Each structure stands twice: as structure tokens, then as C-alpha cells.
Amino acid sequence: MSRVANVVVMGIDETVQKFFGPISDWIGGKVFYAFDINGAPVPLIVLWLIIAAIFFTFWLGFPQFNLKHSINLVRGRYSKPEDAGEVSHFQALATAVSGTVGLGNIAGVAVAISLGGPGATFWMIVAGFFGMAAKMAECTLGVMYRQKHADGSVSGGPMYYLRDGVRQVTGNKALGQFLAAFFAVCCIGGAIGAGNMFQANQATAQIVAVTGGDDSFFADLNWLIGLVFAIAVGVVIIGGIKSIARVTEKLVPLMAGIYLVACLIVILGSVSEVPGAIGDIISGAFSAEGIVGGFVGVLIVGFQRAAFSNEAGIGSASIAHSAVKTEEPATEGFVALLEPLIDTIIICTMTALTIVITGAWDDPDAGDLDGVQLTSRAFESVIPWFPNVLAVAVVLFAFSTMISWSYYGMKATGYLFGDSATAEIVFKVIFCIFTVIGASLSLEPVILFSDAAIFMMSIPNVIGLYFLAKTLRKQVKGHRARLASGEFARVK
Amino acid sequence: MSEVLVGVDGSEHSRRAVEFAVARTLERSGSMVLVHVIQWSPFSFNTPTENEHRHAQKAAEITAANEQVVDPLADLVREAGVPLEIVVIHGDPVDMIIKIAEERHSDHIILGRTGDSRVRQAIFGSTPAHLMQESPVPVTVVP
């Protein structure tokens, strides 16, 4: 490439950075308004989410301990024969999981550990556990208040339970409409930030890293990788080429399997160090020496990255779960609670163990590594060629998350603009433009904006969950009673 | 009265299987049930858009299967004057045919040889081959 072209190209990345950086700082400052405890900033929004998750854990009677019922539902033990051909519990869960399992699990964990040390993992797991109940709450309500259209299609999610449910319980139509519209606007932001820019950013980082880092042909061409992503996404969501999305949906579980096997190879390869790593995780959780903000700092980092990864309380998954075929909305709640279990408690913990066991987080230059690069380094120390496989996995995870989130954003746009086809197309084009922007920026402004946008969704969503808490508990209690009486019985 | 279950797809082999079954049923003055299974698994991975439209898609698949596969074969049976029932359902072909045969107490399963390639059959096996291994009643495969 000529020097002139080089200058022009570097100019694109820098211009994007210059323009977008202050915007993300401003939004991040507002959403992450924090007060200090012992010098550690505690963002209110993180407390907001964890308190909701703990509340619903108690309110719904610790549904986390009903895993057997959840698993039987997913296995189709309760699915009626005449429902064959409809969306099964497994399919609804798998679709939602492929939207959630993304770079939050690979890069997010690395960010947590580099900021909060191994102890952050402990708090991620704790947050994942409570998050299961928040996820159950929003997905049960998603099914309860979903809309069936004339053409047989189904729309659900917080927009509908906020609008219709909140109006029902409060009698205040305007409040419901306001919360629903607030959620829809935040959802569009979340889709563009966490569901798009963050994914494009980290996938690009990994591509550059495996092709030679600073010496890579792509080193100053982040925008070009972003453009390729944007075209691929555009082909699917604007061009309606379903085959690409379908292939991705089938490859993602495979890559997730390969990823977990690689984690196991690293973990089992140094099995003698596992007790030590677990010790580091637990002791680090309570005595955080040398970490900004000490104990509270670690706790907050863990909670924040867990919420970002499993999206419990955010409301997004409720959109995907609503398509399920069931007469009992609570069944999908029981299925949905497996999502934080898979996402945070299993996959994030595996990533964390890999990073802690290999000691990659403790390298002198670890602080300079961007999220996914730290995870990549951890694998590389045991399986030298794995970063290439990781790059493929990261690209696929990023792509499937982008497809899912473009769908969430599109449903939110459709809700705001009365399913206007023009509005949906405008959203899709903007979505693709932000893919390029996300790839061009450095990690900090992207993660700040992504966090801010996705966490903002939880404000209207959690308010709605509290309003609907009684309705929700009635539904779940009713389901438990029908289950106990045999009215809702296994068919196989 | 004896009932013959005929598993059909859109192939020429299915047509011959139905003709064979009609002749046999006429001899014994029995009845027939035509079964077409639309390949579907509750454990597949879908996009959110596919899930949103799945309910409508299911109905469209059943209509298409009736029009394109089952109706022409059913006409053949009715013309011969054999009492007939029709089942079009989603699922795994082998599992569903066995389940329906058991539920209805059919006493004979007839189906056409599948047109799958040798490679495909070597890897996945064919529907008739699997069915013969698992069926509770005699199975006849019509070439």
C-alpha cells in the first residue's frame, strides 16, 4: 500500500476515535453514576441489577434449585405431540443462548480478571446464580404478554409486558407506554453498542493479533475488517440471505464445544494447579490486595461483567424466548434460567480458570492486553496454535451475537414505529455502519458505550419487573401447583 | 379389520409402495393409513427470525405436504375403494411411523425404498433400514 493510502486509512480510524470517544465518555458518565465506598466507585446501576436478581431469587422461591424441572422441559418431556413442528423449549433456549454467548464470555472475563484479579470470577459466579431468577422473571413475562399477529408470527419481550402488563396492574396507560418506549430506545442503543460494536471490536482485535499483531497487514486496517463484518451482517439482515445465518447458528454450538474442550485441556493439563487457582479465586474475592477499590472494587467488577455477559435483568433474552410454543408461560421461565447457568456459571468460569491457571493475567504486560488478547495468550501458553482457532470462534460468536442483537434492535424499532418497514431498514443500515465504527475504535470507548447502552435497558425493564412481581409470582405458583397435582404432566 | 400403514414421501418408490399396498389391502378387505412425516427435530438450532415465523411455517409445510405429496397418492387409494385415513406430522420419520403404527395397532408397515445415495446411506442409514430394526410389526420395502 502506498504511503498516501496509509495516511488516509489511518485517518479513518483516528477520526472515528476522536469523534466517538467523547460521546461514549459522556454517556458512560451518566449511566455509571457512582458513589464511593472505601475509595471504590460503586455504580448505582450495578447495584440496581444485583438487588433485582436477589429479590426475584427469594420472591420466586429459589427457582435455581429446580434445575431438574428445567432440564426435563428442555428435553421435551412435557411437550405435547401435537406441538411437533412448533418452536420447542430447546430451540428457544438455544437461540437465546447464541445471542448471549459471545465475547462477554471470552473477552469480558479477561477484562474482569485484569481489573479485579482472580477474585472477580467468584463474584461473577455469584451474580450469575442470582441472575438466573431475574432471567426467569423476564422470560415468563415475555411469554405471558406476547402478541400473536394475524400471519401467525409472535412478538414478545419487555416492550409488551411493560406496555400491557404495567397498564393492567397500575391502571396507568401512559406509564406502561412510557416504560415500553424507554426500553425500546435503550434496546436499540444496546443492540448497536454491546450487540454490535463491542463484538466487532473484539473480533477485529483477535484477527489482527493472530495475523501478526502490530506487524499484521491489518494492523491499521481495523475499519476494513469492520467493513467486511458489516457487509456479512448486511447480507443477512438487509439482503435476507438466511442461509448464512442458518450456517452460523449451526456452527456456534460446535465452536462453543471446541472452546470448552480447549479450556478443559488447559485445565486438566495442569490439574494439580486447579485447587490453587480456585483458592486464588476465593481468597481474591474477599481480600483484594493491590486492586483499585479493594474488596468492593472486585465485587463490582465481577457483578458488572456477569451482567454484561448473561444479560439477566436487561430484558433482551425475553424477546428471543417469547417465540416458544407453550400453554404455561412459567415453563419458559424455568428454561430461561439455564441461560445464566450456561453462560456465566459454566462458560465464564472455564475461561476464568484457564486465565488464572496459566497465570496469563499476572504477566507484567497483561495490563496492556485488550480483553480477548489476554484470553488468547492464556490458551497460547498451553496450545500454541489455539489462538487461530480462537479467532475463528470469536468471529463466529461475534457474528451470531450481532445477528441476534440486530433482531432485538429491529423488534424494538418495529415497536416504536408501528412495524414500519422503512424504519426497520433505516435501523439495519445504521447497525451496519456502527459495525465499522466499533471495529475501528480502541477497546475503552467501545466497552464504555456498550456497557452504558446495555445497562440502561435494565432501568425500565426492572421497574416493570417490580410492578409485575405479583402477577409473575401467581403465574409461577400456579405452574408449580399444576405440576404437583399432575395437571401439567410429563408426556414421556 | 386389518390396517396397513404406508409411509410415503414424494418419490416414485412411494407411489409403487401405495399401489402394492392397495392391491394387498383389497385382497384382505382391510383399511389403509397414509403417513407422511415432515423431517423436524425439537433439538435444532434456529435464528430468532425463524422462530418468530415458525408457527405459520409449520402450517405452510403441512399444506404443501398435503397438496404435493399426500393428495395424489390418496386419490389413487380412494379410486380403488380402499378405506383411507391420512396423517401428516412433524418429527423423525422412523420414530413417528413406529409410534403411529403402535398407537393405531396397524399390523403391517409398507414403504418405498428411499432414493438416497450410497454414501448417504452408509453414513446415516436409510429410513427403511432403521425402521426394520425397530418396527413391532412386519415391514415391507417396495423397490
pLDDT digits (tens, 9 = 90+) for B13-71: 889 999 999 999 998 888 999 999 998 999 988 888 889 999 999 999 999 999 999 99
Nearby residues of A483 by Cβ (< 8 Å), 6 or more positions away: A69
Q: How many CB pairs under 8 A join A and B?
A: 87
Q: What own/partner pairs with CB < 8 Å and gap ≥ 24 does A289-297 have? A: A290/A117, A291/A115, A291/A116, A291/A117, A291/A119, A292/A40, A292/A115, A293/A37, A293/A38, A293/A39, A293/A40, A293/A41, A294/A38, A294/A39, A294/A40, A295/A38, A295/A40, A296/A37, A296/A38, A296/A40, A296/A42, A297/A40, A297/A41, A297/A116
Inter-chain contact A86–B91, Cβ cutoff 8 Å? Answer: no
Q: What is the pLDDT of residue B120?
A: 60
Q: A316 at the B interface (CB within 8 A)? A: no
Indicate which of B36, B43, B46, B57 best probes the interface with A, i.e. most A CBs within 10 Å of its own CB.
B46
Among chain B residues, the shortest Cα distance to A318 is held by B48
Q: A155 at the B interface (CB within 8 A)? A: yes
Inter-chain contact B51–A252, Cβ cutoff 8 Å? Answer: no
Mean pLDDT of chain A: 88
pLDDT: which is higher, A54 or A24: A54
Nearby residues of A479 by Cβ (< 8 Å), 6 or more positions away: A328, A330, A331, A488
Mean pLDDT of A97-103: 84
Q: What are phi and psi of A85, to 5 degrees?
A: 95, -15
Q: How confident is the model at residue B122 (pLDDT cuts 50, 70, 90)?
A: low
Q: What are phi and psi of A350, to 5 degrees?
A: -60, -45
Distance (Å, rounded) from C-alpha B35 to C-alpha B112? 12
Give chain B positions within 8 Å (CB) of A153. 52-53, 55-56
Distance (Å, rounded) from C-alpha A159 to C-alpha A460? 10
Nearby residues of A12 by Cβ (< 8 Å), 6 or more positions away: A223, A440
Q: What are phi and psi of A35, to 5 degrees?
A: -115, 165
**Nearest alpha carbon to residue B98 among B11, B17, B7:** B7
Q: What is the pLDDT of residue B23?
A: 93
- HSE-up of residue A389 (Cα within 13 Å, Cβ side): 16
The one-letter amino acid code at A6 reads: N
Q: B51 at the A interface (CB within 8 A)? A: yes
pLDDT: which is higher, B52 or A364: B52
What is the grid cell recorded at A395? 468471529
Mean pLDDT of A319-343: 94
**Nearest alpha carbon to residue B51 among A132, A333, A319:** A319
Indicate which of B54, B90, B102, B104 best probes the interface with A, i.e. most A CBs within 10 Å of its own CB.
B54
Q: B60 at the A interface (CB within 8 A)? A: no
CA distance readout (Å), A470 to A56, A170, A336: 11, 12, 19
Inter-chain contact A250–B45, Cβ cutoff 8 Å? Answer: yes
Give chain B positions within 8 Å (CB) of A98. 45
Distance (Å, rounded) from C-alpha B126 to C-alpha B7? 13
Give chain B positions within 8 Å (CB) of A152. 53, 55-56, 59
Q: A92 at the B interface (CB within 8 A)? A: yes
Inter-chain contact B43–A86, Cβ cutoff 8 Å? Answer: no
Q: A187 at the B interface (CB within 8 A)? A: no
Q: What is the pLDDT of residue B125?
A: 64
**Nearest alpha carbon to residue A255 among A106, A385, A389, A107:** A389
pLDDT: which is higher, B130 or B118: B130
> How many residues does this entry show for chain A?
492
**Nearest alpha carbon to residue A455 among A300, A294, A297:** A300
What is the grid cell recorded at A258? 471446541
Strand, helix or coil for residue A40: strand
Nearby residues of A114 by Cβ (< 8 Å), 6 or more positions away: A361, A366, A367, A369, A371, A374
Among chain A residues, the shortest Cα distance to B92 is held by A84
Give chain B positions within 8 Å (CB) of A79. 42
Percentage of chain B with pLDDT > 70? Answer: 92
Q: A76 at the B interface (CB within 8 A)? A: yes
Query: Cβ(A101)–Cβ(A436) under 8 Å?
Result: no
b/e per residue A40-70 (b: at least 16 CB within 10 A): bebbebbebbbebbbbbbebbeebbebeebb
Parallel, antiparallel, or unpaired for β A34-37 and B31-39? unpaired
Inter-chain contact B40–A407, Cβ cutoff 8 Å? Answer: no
The one-letter amino acid code at A192 reads: I
Q: A151 at the B interface (CB within 8 A)? A: yes
What is the grid cell recorded at A416? 416504536
Indicate which of A154, A160, A237, A241 best probes the interface with B, i.e. most B CBs within 10 Å of its own CB.
A154
Give chain B positions within 8 Å (CB) of A90. 42-43
Mean pLDDT of B116-128: 66
Tell me the sheet residues that pair with A154. Answer: A148
Q: A99 at the B interface (CB within 8 A)? A: yes
- HSE-up of residue A232 (Cα within 13 Å, Cβ side): 21
For residue B142, give the H/E element and its range: strand B139-142
Of A84, A320, A404, the CB nearest to B91: A84
ipTM, interface predicted TM-score of the complex: 0.88
Q: How confident is the model at residue A361 (pLDDT cuts 50, 70, 90)?
A: confident
Inter-chain contact A85–B38, Cβ cutoff 8 Å? Answer: yes
